[in-house]
Amino acid sequence: MTQPPDLRTWLEDVEALGQLQRVRGAHWDLEIGALTELTCTKLATPPALLFEDIPDYPPGYRVLTNLLPTVQRLALTTGLPTDLDERGFIAAWRRRLGELRPMDPVEVSPDEAPVFENRFEGDAVDLTSLPVPRWHAQDGGRYIGTANLDITRDRENGWVNAGTYRVMLHDPRHVGFFISPGKQGRVHRTQYFDAGEPCPVAISFGEDPLLFLAATIDVPNGVSEYAWASGVRGEPVRVARGPVTGLPIPAAAEIVIEGEALPGETRTEGPFGEWTGYYASASRPEPVIRVKALYHRDNPILCGAPPFKPSAKAERFCWLLRSAAIWNQVEAAGVPDVQAVRVHPAAGRFFVIISIRQRYPGHAKQAAHVASQCRAGAYLGRYVIVVDEDVDIYDTDEVLWALATRSEPATDIDVIRRAWSGPLDPVIPADQKGFNSRAIVDATKPFEWKDQFPMVSVISAEQRAAVEARWSQLFRAEGRPAIVEAPAPVRA
Ligand SMILES: Cc1cc2nc3c(=O)[nH]c(=O)nc-3n(C[C@H](O)[C@H](O)[C@H](O)COP(=O)(O)O)c2cc1C
Ligand SMILES: [Mn+2]
């Protein structure tokens, strides 16, 4: 029987792709974080980094970072062909999302669950036994959870959510977790706290990257990320029942904790270098988890996805997946003729571009407002730019050209006020966080006179091909002759 997919089978596949880099001897205190940021930023194809022999820890205890910054690894993880480029991936993923049918995970017995290879309960729990990195220099502590699943259950109807919400180490048996208002795990936690009850939580810190990916994007309300990931794979994910909370945990997770958060019990969380490129949420009192049990595989691998400024590309997978999700949701809302959607990689959620073929008055406005407020686009957005179909939205220069020449600020910018933001928004002052505003910019040709809009002056594809062929000497990168002459006419 082939081995069920987990992080270790994924690593074998990534190694076969030639995208795994082992690193020995890097320190958990800032060095692993710095190597992660710099490889992501500087290398065209950042490899997954598997840190071994981490000082102060047993040699087999490892940290894995840079899981998904390449389209190939994203395709591998989602079961799509690995030769797709960015556009091809978005198109293929959009189709997969459209067809996706969630499927129940399968529960396996504890002895079939490698996560229980090592078990610690009560006083025996020591989270400092794991090589938890300090990722960025100004972080308020060591963050064990950056590529994790925070697993909770709806107190009223029992559905299970798994979201990636960061987890900070307070001491060997306590962690803090930060969930932005509005996220599904936050709603679950609040249900227990409102009832004056402890909220049971299980957290996995190293798992099949398909589960991690599911936990970072907007799986619909009421749908468990386990069911969603099972649907993506077309095969049920294997879960085991957590002995303390009864919550399902990934059976082959590398590291899992179980515990509870008590209403009213908080400790200072943060600051933490966030995906916006800032420490915007600073530090605040946040709920604490009293950890009652720790399980891990032999030679566990702690996964890390520390965020950096968006241009570092560490969260590129999020922008690609989100582009496809917004596109599908705009179409599902009934907006026709959407040509493309792009969450811009330099700014992430803050900057969304959408191109349409205008069919009727108001079409552009409709597309942009829906893109700004659909589930995948609503949280922490800022600008939505809508352009015509002749503008290539993968070329930022083209987008800025359209913005500069087809929008008239006095009439083409709408502002939506009091939209869904949160503590991470850098430009909102600390005492006003929660809401922000959105600019919806219509950079399409005005519908009423679009057919009379000034003609675009650009060489046609036919003329360009003909001229480039006839004058090929002139377009050589190197070795251009001193004088380029028209070639002799071809005689019949
Ligand atoms: C690497 C990474 C770290 C994240 N950390 C947090 C976090 O600390 N808190 C938070 O509220 N959302 C965080 N997010 C965003 C959520 O994971 C995302 O909004 C997800 O959809 C939440 O799950 P939910 O839809 O089940 O609420 C993070 C995303 C990524 C990719
Ligand atoms: Mn969810």
417-458 confidence digits (pLDDT tens): 999 999 999 999 999 999 999 999 999 999 999 999 999 999
Best of 77, 135, 164 for a ligand 1 pocket test (most atoms within 8 Å of beta carbon):
164
The kind and range of the H/E element at 177 are strand 174-177
pLDDT digits (tens, 9 = 90+) for 154-188: 999 999 999 999 999 999 999 999 999 999 999 99
Q: What's residue 1's pLDDT?
A: 57
Using DSSP, state whether 340 is helix, strand or coil. Answer: strand
Q: What is the mean pLDDT of the chain?
A: 97
Judge whether residue 109 has pLDDT over 90: yes
Instruction: Give 428's DSSP letter.
Output: S
pLDDT digits (tens, 9 = 90+) for 343-375: 999 999 999 999 999 999 999 999 999 999 999
Judge whether residue 17 has pLDDT over 70: yes
Q: At 104, is the pLDDT very low, low, confident or very high (cuts 50, 70, 90)?
A: very high
Judge whether residue 93 has pLDDT over 60: yes
Best of 216, 224, 275, 286 for a ligand 1 pocket test (most atoms within 8 Å of beta carbon):
216
pLDDT more than 90, % of the chain: 98
Q: What's residue 491's pLDDT?
A: 67
**299 in the Ramachandran plot: left (φ > 0), alpha (ψ -120 to 50) or beta?**
left
Residues sharing a CB contact under 8 Å with residue 365, sequence separation 6 or more, in sequence order? 386, 414, 440, 442
Q: What's residue 405's pLDDT?
A: 98
Predicted TM-score of the model (pTM): 0.96
Residues sharing a CB contact under 8 Å with residue 60, sequence separation 6 or more, in sequence order? 52, 298, 299
Q: What's residue 422's pLDDT?
A: 97
What is the spatial distance between Cα 307 and Cα 227, in angstroms, rounded to a whole number? 27
Cis, peptide link before residue 271, omega less than 30° from 0: yes
Q: What's residue 2's pLDDT?
A: 79
Buried/exposed code over 314-336 (b: 16+ C-beta within 10 A; e: otherwise): bbbbbbbbbbbbbbbbbbeeebe
Using DSSP, state whether 321 is helix, strand or coil. Answer: helix
Is 138 buried (19+), middle (13-18) or exposed (0-12) by CB count in 10 A?
Answer: exposed
Compute the average pLDDT of residues 291-301: 98
Judge whether residue 492 has pLDDT over 70: no
Q: What's residue 297's pLDDT?
A: 98
C-alpha 369 – ligand 1 centre gap (Å): 23
**246 in the Ramachandran plot: left (φ > 0), alpha (ψ -120 to 50) or beta?**
left
Q: Which ligand is nearest to the CA of 226?
A: 2
What is the spatial distance between Cα 90 and Cα 94, in angstroms, rounded to a whole number? 6
Judge whether residue 490 has pLDDT over 70: no
- Structural contact between residues 242 and 110, judged by C-beta atoms closer than 8 angstroms: no
Residue nearest to atom 7 of ligand 1 (CA): 165
The crossing angle, in degrees rounded to 10, of helices 86-99 and 71-78 is 20
